[in-house]
Amino acid sequence: MPDAIEGMAKRPGDEALRPGRPDDPGAQAAPPGAADGAPPQVFGISDPAAPWEPTETAGISLPVDAPVGGPPALVRAWFDAAAAAVKTENDGTLAAAYRSAGTYRSRAKADNTRAAYRSAVRAWCAWCGKHGVPALPASSHDVAAFLAAGRDAGQAGNTLKLRAAALRFLHRAAGLPSPTDTAEVSETMAGIRRDAPNPQKKRAAPTAVLRELLAPIPDDLRGLRDRALLLVGFAGALRRSELAAITLADLQRTDGGYELTLKRSKGAQTEAVLVPLPYGRTELCPVRALSRWIDAGTITEGAVFRRIWTPPQASPDSPPARPAIGAEPLTPRSMARIVQARAAAAGFAARDFGGHSLKRGALTTGMQQGVHPAQLKRLGRHKSFDVLGEYLEFGDLFAGHPLGGVL
């Protein structure tokens, strides 16, 4: 397994320099015990002019270090393995300690961020392979062209911003200077931002809209799941990834409702957060909806929101098979699709809704009821009021105008 994210140079068994550029004043000689006469390593490669030597890992030939100068396909495979952040056993050796440190550094990034970076690096390596340019190290000229080509193909500005960040991260992981820190790339991105329209935000689902989404949902197994999913997502102002991650162990029944423990969220990456799901007095009660789904699905452990499917009939004459419930959680993308499907069934345009509709709906409802912004910020688990503002849907611009009673 190659060193994980930001592993930079090779973690010595003992012949390498400390991580850093060749001219890094902090670079140190190899520690005692290194093989005499071993060549110094630059970016994890003994001789920068020589080709890398692959190592067999799980049946795939991967270099131990970043494959600087290697083919794009190998760069992609190396980054995929590094970004996976698989923890290996520490046997007490210095090399194992270096590997563990690299793994922990990689886990500084959220799972979703690492997945997005892997996708971006794959796209970059495919583009480099197609055009015959090096993927690692990359030139600023090639990176600017890659981003421009993406915009010309209709990719959104936010997508290209993420891809630029991923390429910066790729080079940091390899211990190389970032090609994105140049005027050529920054000016290209500035032009893309001017050219690319702002993405349309997904429509909020405040209580009035939420009731319409729930109205046509039947009381079958899939309907019970989706009703609980919509109401829990709304009451907890949850992101789709937070919904997908809920397990039965995260839910504690109390006199006031459920206490949901989010082990990790976008607003709190390093500590768990308690989210209250209170009892309600209407059909929007998340506690009763969630309890009905858990009982109907006979869920005793593991993921709460799971895939449901209908097995094929044993024969044409046999009665339809009963729906089956899987053990694995629904993916965040599946959460968004369910919201869109329920919106379409209620007569809305599915494309207007998505995973953020429930969270935006909860915060917008709170705003309409005059809840203090500090409480809304806490409900949404936002770090700043600026971010909170992005989730609010104001509707009528004249209703509640701050100067309405003065002018």
- Identify whether 183 is part of a domain: yes
Q: How far apart are CA 114 and CA 169, in angstroms?
A: 10
Whether residues 179 and 226 share a domain: the answer is no
What are the pLDDT digits (tens) for 188-209? 999 999 887 767 788 999 999 9
Q: Regarding predicted confidence, which is higher, 125 or 37?
A: 125
Q: How many residues does the chain have?
A: 407
- Identify whether 65 is part of a domain: yes
Q: Who's near 395: CB < 8 A, 6+ residues apart?
A: none
Give the per-residue pLDDT at 308.
94
Whether residues 216 and 172 share a domain: the answer is no
pLDDT band, very low/low/confident/very high, at 268 (cuts 50, 70, 90): low
Per-chain mean pLDDT for the chain: 80
- Identify whether 93 is part of a domain: yes
Task: Choose among 73, 76, 53: nearest CA to 65.
Answer: 53
Whole-prediction pTM value?
A: 0.65
Whether residues 224 and 82 share a domain: the answer is no
Q: How far apart are CA 332 and CA 359, in angstroms?
A: 14
Give the per-residue pLDDT at 24.
32
| Separation in Å, CA 69 to CA 4, 44, 120, 195 | 19, 12, 19, 34
- Which two structure tokens, joined as six digits, stand for 313? 């009939």
- Identify whether 399 is part of a domain: no
Q: Is the pLDDT of residue 153 over 70?
A: yes
Whether residues 104 and 247 share a domain: the answer is no
Q: Which residue reads 């190998």 in tokens?
A: 74
Domain that residue 273 falls in: 207-312+320-391
Q: What are the beta bridge partners of residue 172?
A: none
Whether residues 161 and 255 share a domain: the answer is no
Whether residues 140 and 169 share a domain: the answer is yes
Q: How far apart are CA 122 and CA 292, in angstroms?
A: 43
- Which two structure tokens, joined as six digits, stand for 63? 């270099």
Whether residues 81 and 126 share a domain: the answer is yes
Whether residues 360 and 302 share a domain: the answer is yes
Q: How far apart are CA 163 and CA 169, in angstroms?
A: 10
Q: What is the domain-level CATH number for residue 116?
A: 1.10.150.130
- Number of domains present in the structure of the chain: 2
Mean per-residue pLDDT for 304-328?
87
Percent of the chain with pLDDT over 90: 52
Mean per-residue pLDDT for 127-146?
96
Give the per-residue pLDDT at 56.
39
- Identify whether 48 is part of a domain: no
What are the pLDDT digits (tens) for 324-361? 999 999 999 999 999 999 999 999 999 999 989 999 99
Give the per-residue pLDDT at 285.
96
Q: What is the domain-level CATH number for residue 353?
A: 1.10.443.10
Whether residues 230 and 375 share a domain: the answer is yes
- Identify whether 400 is part of a domain: no
Give the per-residue pLDDT at 269.
60
What are the pLDDT digits (tens) for 370-391? 888 888 888 887 777 766 766 6
Whether residues 177 and 89 share a domain: the answer is yes
Whether residues 117 and 223 share a domain: the answer is no
Give the per-residue pLDDT at 171.
94
Q: How far apart are CA 232 and CA 292, in angstroms?
A: 12
Give the per-residue pLDDT at 90.
84
